[in-house]
Amino acid sequence: MVRPESLPQAVERLKRGGTAVLIVDNTREPYGVIMQAARDVTASSVNLWATEFRGVICVAIGEKTANRLSLPPMPGRTSGADSPEFLVSVEARRGVSTGISAPDRMATLHILADESATETDIVSPGHIFPVLVRNSGVLGRASEAEGAHDLVRIATGADAAAYCHILNVEGLLAGSSELVSISTSHDIPIVYLSDLVHYRMENELFVHVVSEGVVPTDHGPFRVLLYKNELDGLVHPVLIKGEMDDNTPVLARIHSQCLTGDVFHSWRCDCGDQLSGALTAIREHGSGVIIYLRQEGRGIGLPNKVRAYALQDRGKDTVDANLELGFDADHRSFVAAAQIFRDLGIKKLRLMTNNAQKIAEMFDFGLDVVERIALPTPPRNENLGYLRTKKDRLGHLLDLKHD
């Protein structure tokens, strides 16, 4: 799955203190960054990046480093799962002049990479732009900061990765062919973000079972496993009926928690009806799996979900309500589900879903969705607008015939 010329060569070069070109290839128009472990950046590197690659020099740091240096978020930054978490710009407190020169910026990067440095060693604002990377890395947000940080961590174990967007002579993000040309002319290995995601999915397992038992239900008994995600601490219940083998596609549902729909049977959404439909289908089939992901309100949490309800009552649809609260239209991640399937030995799915994006993500994480099984639910006057928004704005595969 990983291109032979991609990840191993880049990791080896980074181990030796060199640079790599990371191509972000999960977008409609791929773009790239030049990157290096922050501790290995030289003044010559900074000068080359500034003059030939032309982008802003940033440094991706982990939560441990951000906390140790007491770096707050950049004021007014854009929020959302797809937005980089910029922290305040910084400068080394000592050993620099204006902070803008190549040696000065190198010194600042070295301070950020120094595990003994504290908040007393930096000042703000400055000419280096830190970006916070969560522990999940590219498995939580697949973009350049997370990619650079993951690569440096894999290659060197360090917690700070310097990177610079590569612009062409017109000042636009360089495209794939230009990035390949730059890689060739400077003898810099290329690594693709998609390869890094697949590498981590195939080589790391960050979920594990913390308890298990049997739950009798209206749909018969289910074995229940509680999986803890080590990246965020969340515990996800998994209901299993029957036996499974490696060669037979498994009837499965990835269900995001919805307290109001699943427990209180709210008519605002179709979540409870979908969960009930999945349980019924598994009972009738005789086997199957339901992964119940703890990501209430499409990932924004129960308090914000109820705030979104209030906005909807004032005329916003479910997408615009999320956006007004500062979240993405869909703030969820299905990485944990893919990891749970992997731990269960499941490789092929008959996935019960109306969400095309969920299918695409399972494919991205190396699972084979051999069949999509629709979960039709009867529209009600109370949720018809919600369902239309899911179909028209979120791409859900729904048939909304309604009297």
C-alpha to C-alpha distance for 345 and 130, rounded to whole angstroms: 39
pLDDT at 187 over 90: yes
Catalytic option among 40, 104, 150, 330: 330
Q: How far apart are CA 277 and CA 259, in angstroms?
A: 17
In which band, very low, low, confident or very high, does the pLDDT at 80 lie, cut at 50, 70 and 90? low
Domain boundary among 147, 172, 201: 201
Kindly tell me if the per-residue pLDDT of 281 is higher than 90: yes
pTM exceeding 0.85 = no
Domain of residue 17, residue span: 7-201
Last residue of a domain, one of 201, 224, 256: 201
232 vs 6, higher pLDDT: 232
Q: What is the pLDDT of residues 204-216, one digit of tens each?
A: 899 999 999 999 9
- Helix residue spans in 215-334 (DSSP H): 271-285, 296-299, 302-313, 318-324
Q: Is residue 373 part of a domain?
A: yes
Side-chain-facing half-sphere of 275: CA atoms under 13 Å? 22
∠ CA 82-317-142, rounded to 5°: 10
Banded model confidence at residue 390, pLDDT cuts 50, 70, 90: confident
- Residue 178 makes CB contacts below 8 A (sequence gap 6+) with 166, 168
The contacts of residue 82 (CB under 8 Å, 6+ apart) are 141, 143, 328
Residues of the chain above pLDDT 70, percent: 97
Residue 141 has what pLDDT? 84
pLDDT of residue 40: 97
79 pLDDT more than 60? no
Mean pLDDT of the chain: 91
pLDDT at 77: 64
pLDDT at 15: 96
Kindly state whether residues 108 and 167 are assigned to the same domain: yes
Same domain, 216 and 134: no
- Tell me if residue 332 is catalytic: yes
Question: What CATH number is attached to the domain comprising 271?
Answer: 3.40.50.10990
> Does 9 have pLDDT greater than 80?
yes
From the list 216, 210, 259, the residue with the least C-alpha distance to 241 is 216
Do 270 and 212 fall into the same domain? yes
pLDDT band at 1 (very low <50, low <70, confident <90, very high): very low
Sequence-ordered alpha helix ranges (H) in 325-383: 335-343, 356-364
Is residue 4 pLDDT above 50, yes or no? no
**CATH number, domain at 194?**
3.90.870.10
Q: Is 368 a catalytic residue?
A: no
Q: What is the distance between the alpha carbons of residues 164 and 360, in angstroms, rounded to a whole number?
A: 30
Q: Is the pLDDT of residue 237 over 60?
A: yes
Which of 195, 332, 350, 372 is an active site residue? 332
pLDDT of 399 > 80? The answer is no
Question: 251 and 186 share a domain?
Answer: no
Domains of the chain: total = 2
